[in-house]
Amino acid sequence: MSQLQPYVDCKVSVVMTDGRLIVGTLRGLDQTTNIIVQGCQERIFSEDEPVEVVGLGLYMIRGDNIAVIGLVDEKADAALDLDSLRGEPLSPLKA
Partner 1 sequence: MLFYSFFKTQVGQQVTIELKNDLAIQGTLESVDQFLNFKLKDIRVVDEERYPHMLSVKNCFIRGSVVRYVQLLPSTVDTALLQDAARREAQSTQQMQQQARPANVATA
- CA distances in angstroms from 84 to 18, 50, 64, 80, listed in the order given: 24, 6, 32, 9
Q: How many positions of this chain bind partner 1 (CB under 8 A)?
A: 37
| CB nearer to partner 1: pick between 24 and 45 | 45
Cα-Cα-Cα-Cα torsion 43, 28, 93, 45, nearest 10 degrees, comes to 10
The answer to whether residue 15 forms part of the interface with partner 1 (CB under 8 A) is yes
Q: How far apart are CA 85 and CA 22, in angstroms?
A: 16
Q: How far apart are the first and last CA of the chain?
A: 25
* Minimum CB–partner distance for residue 95 and partner 1 (Å): 6
The answer to whether residue 17 forms part of the interface with partner 1 (CB under 8 A) is yes
| CB nearer to partner 1: pick between 52 and 73 | 73
* Minimum CB–partner distance for residue 72 and partner 1 (Å): 5
Contact footprint for partner 1 (CB under 8 A) = 1-4, 7, 13, 15, 17, 19, 21, 33, 43, 45, 63-64, 66-73, 76-77, 79-80, 85-88, 90-95
